[in-house]
Amino acid sequence: MNNNTDNLRLLVLDSYSEIGKKINQHLNVIREMPQDNNYVLDIENPRFNNGEAKLVVKDSVRSKDVYILVDIGNYGCSYEMYGHTNIYSPDEHFQDLKRAISAIKNTADRVTVIMPLLYASRQHKRKARESLDCAMALQELQALGVKNIITFDAHDPNVQNAIPNLSFENFYASNVILKTFVKENDVDIKKLMIISPDTGAMDRALYYAGILGVDVGMFYKRRDVSKVVNGKNPVVAHEYMGKDVKGSDVIIVDDIIASGDSVLEVAEKLKEEGANDIYLMSTFAIFTQGTERFQKAHKDNLFKKMYSTNLSYISKEVENYEWFEEVDCSKFIAKIINTLNSNESISPHLKGNEKLIALINEKVKKS
């Protein structure tokens, strides 16, 4: 039973339950509420033996401002179907999201979807006779009556053009990641470089470089367009463009680390060019092909540490690796929710963090 008296509510799907609890705690601190105050709605998400599901919201949402939190990348969720255990796919998480919306849309005052890892974000443009999954998904959410969509580091933010009449906010976790990095490492920032592993990550790399006040370089992926492997053209070579990295510490930044092929090959190239310590930073580390290559690369001193957020699922195994640092973004999400619920401008959350910049300037003075 929800014990809160104001209009804010969190509908936390199973895929985001752990982070949802942290967000609730941060909201209580931000709003100066007792720690036992609960914004989280009581829900059930049962499945029948044939795999069909439904979602039941047990608390009233009449005239409430509801924020639905879902992680479509959480492969730690499972269910029983015909006697077999099935791992949730992004499609099934998205279907549960639609169930949640349909359960409350007629009575809630406003429904906001917080989907940090945007569903089908890598299928955002059409190259041939193929589906436009991300655009279709966003239009589905609009048709269901969603008022706002909050995501992080969208693979291509231009996909919001599919829903021009709907509020779509794309946040970056860069400030939170950099703050953790600067606090934990005694790095001479003046000798640091930011590297983009491909042209698509260049805007992100420029953002990091702008905050730190350092130079930036980029690799160009030369692909074999005559072949398709695992749904994409294989990379033939990585060509570097930028300042000499010899003697520099380097940060390689990307939005998603899936197989890890690109970032590890780029790290290898940088080591060959004389780079010193190499750090990997990503918003989402989904490790679609396991972590064995990263284990070996770290052992071979190819990179020193990886920083990634808990915006999407990180397994306990990965959390315990010495080379992996999980960056907690639950407080950041809580601030966004509180700002929206208060009908205030979210622009400050989209810009550089003044505290982070002050911390970096202090580091530069000491170096």
DSSP for 89-132, written as a single string: PHHHHHHHHHHHHHHHTTT-SEEEEE-SS-TTTT--S-SSS---
CA neighbours within 13 Å on the CB side: how many for 9? 26
- Which residue is it, tokens 């349909």? 102
Residue 150 sits in the same domain as residue 28: yes
Residue 15 sits in the same domain as residue 94: yes
Residue 147 sits in the same domain as residue 34: yes
Whether the Cβ atoms of residue 257 and residue 229 lie closer than 8 Å to each other: no
Give me the domain span that covers residue 236.
174-328
Residue 179 sits in the same domain as residue 224: yes
Residue 125 carries which side chain, given as an amino acid letter?
K
Domain finish residue from 328, 343, 360: 328
Residue 29 tokens read as: 């601190």
Task: Determine the pLDDT at residue 7.
Answer: 96
Question: Would 340 be classed as within a structural domain?
Answer: no
Q: Nearest to residue 66, comparing CAs of 21, 141, 7, 22?
A: 7
Beta bridge partners of 240: 219
Residue 300 tokens read as: 């071979």
Question: Would 348 be classed as within a structural domain?
Answer: no
Residue 165 sits in the same domain as residue 17: yes
Task: Determine the pLDDT at residue 35.
Answer: 92
Name the maximum alpha-carbon separation found in the chain. Answer: 63
Whether the Cβ atoms of residue 186 and residue 304 lie closer than 8 Å to each other: no
Whether the Cβ atoms of residue 268 and residue 302 lie closer than 8 Å to each other: yes
Q: Over its length of 367 residues, how does the chain's per-residue pLDDT go in tens digits?
A: 566 669 999 999 999 999 999 999 999 999 999 999 999 999 999 999 999 999 999 999 999 999 999 999 999 999 999 999 999 999 999 999 999 999 999 999 999 999 999 999 988 888 788 899 999 999 999 999 999 999 999 988 999 999 999 999 999 898 999 999 998 888 888 889 999 998 888 888 998 998 899 999 999 877 666 777 776 677 777 789 899 999 999 999 999 999 998 899 999 999 999 999 999 999 999 999 999 999 999 999 999 999 999 999 999 999 999 999 999 999 999 999 999 999 999 887 776 566 776 777 776 666 6
Residue 183 sits in the same domain as residue 62: no
Task: Determine the pLDDT at residue 126.
Answer: 82
Phi, psi (5° rounding) for residue 252? -95, 125
Residue 322 sits in the same domain as residue 204: yes
Task: Determine the pLDDT at residue 187.
Answer: 86
Q: Is 173 helix (H, G, I), strand (E, B) or coil?
A: coil
Q: For residue 272, what are the CA distances in angstroms to 112, 129, 235?
A: 47, 41, 19
Residue 280 tokens read as: 């990997």
Task: Determine the pLDDT at residue 81.
Answer: 94
CA 361 to chain centre: 27
Question: Would 273 be classed as within a structural domain?
Answer: yes
CA 354 to CA 367: how far, in whole Å? 20
Residue 240 sits in the same domain as residue 145: no
Residue 119 sits in the same domain as residue 183: no
Question: Would 355 be classed as within a structural domain?
Answer: no
Q: What is the pTM of this model?
A: 0.91
Residue 153 tokens read as: 């580091």
CATH number for position 302: 3.40.50.2020
Whether the Cβ atoms of residue 260 and residue 233 lie closer than 8 Å to each other: no
The number of distinct structural domains making up the chain is 2
Residue 167 sits in the same domain as residue 179: no
Question: Would 91 be classed as within a structural domain?
Answer: yes
Question: Would 351 be classed as within a structural domain?
Answer: no
Question: Would 57 be classed as within a structural domain?
Answer: yes
Whether the Cβ atoms of residue 101 and residue 144 lie closer than 8 Å to each other: yes
Residue 53 tokens read as: 């599901």
Question: Would 58 be classed as within a structural domain?
Answer: yes
Strands (E), 7-155: 8-12, 43-44, 56-57, 65-69, 78-81, 84-87, 110-114, 148-152
Residue 244 sits in the same domain as residue 313: yes
Residue 139 sits in the same domain as residue 225: no
